[in-house]
Amino acid sequence: MGLVITSMIMVAVTAIMTSVARGWNDQRVTQSTQLQANQVYARVQRILSAAKYVVSPANNHSSSSDILFWANDYNADGAVEAGELGLIELDTTTNTLYYYSSSSQTGAASTQMSWSTLQSLTAAQLKGWSYMQKTALGGPGNSGNANALQVTGAQFYVTGLSSTTQLPIVEFTLGFKKNGQYVTLYNCTTMRSPTTQPN
């Protein structure tokens, strides 16, 4: 009788300990996912908050999983050059968020672009320029590591592009997944000057 009671107690203790260990592990995985997601989020926030102006989300929609913007006026001439543009794009085949930016301010990269040309520019065209560098902001890339942080979603929404009295506002949402844990982060960023469309 004593052995039966002892066995029952041991089974109960084992179940409790297993549950506690699983909870600790889940909490560790959640914290790891949140920490890595925050790092990606901070990179996107830093890039967008430093941008001069939003050209448009991809395909000229107000909302898109890509965003094309005037990253900086490097030569301070008030005009947009091809090499001053930037693009953030989600690659859904690898669940990776990429940033495309120029590696040079000379030659073709310094070519001025009219506003009408910018409005018709597509993400595919910008990525095809030889001087554009591709940097992973977050995601497993081509590693194929199932346990790596995946960027499962990105949404950029822009308002105030046509306003002459307020700066454009970019709202963005990023979704992440790691080891079955999901994290969604949201932020709103106001662009810097100018208050009107660039030349």
**Please, which pLDDT band fits residue 59 given cuts at 50, 70 and 90?**
very low
Q: In what order do the strands lie in the sheet with 132-138?
A: 53-57, 66-70, 85-91, 96-102, 132-138
Paired residues of 175 in beta bridges: 153, 184
Bigger pLDDT: 60 vs 103: 103
Question: Which residues are within 8 A (CB) of 177 and not within 5 positions of it... i.e. 6 or more apart?
Answer: 33, 95, 149, 150, 152, 183
Instruction: Answer whether residue 30 shows pLDDT above 70.
Output: no
At 88 the pLDDT is 94
- Rounded Cα distance between 185 and 21, Å, is 28
Instruction: Answer whether residue 18 shows pLDDT above 50.
Output: yes
Domain positions in the chain are 2-190
**Please, which pLDDT band fits residue 143 given cuts at 50, 70 and 90?**
low
At 194 the pLDDT is 62
At 146 the pLDDT is 66
**Please, which pLDDT band fits residue 193 given cuts at 50, 70 and 90?**
low
> Mean pLDDT across the chain, nearest whole number?
79
CA 119 to chain centre: 22
At 108 the pLDDT is 62
Radius of gyration of the chain from Cα atoms? 23
At 90 the pLDDT is 92
Bigger pLDDT: 197 vs 109: 109
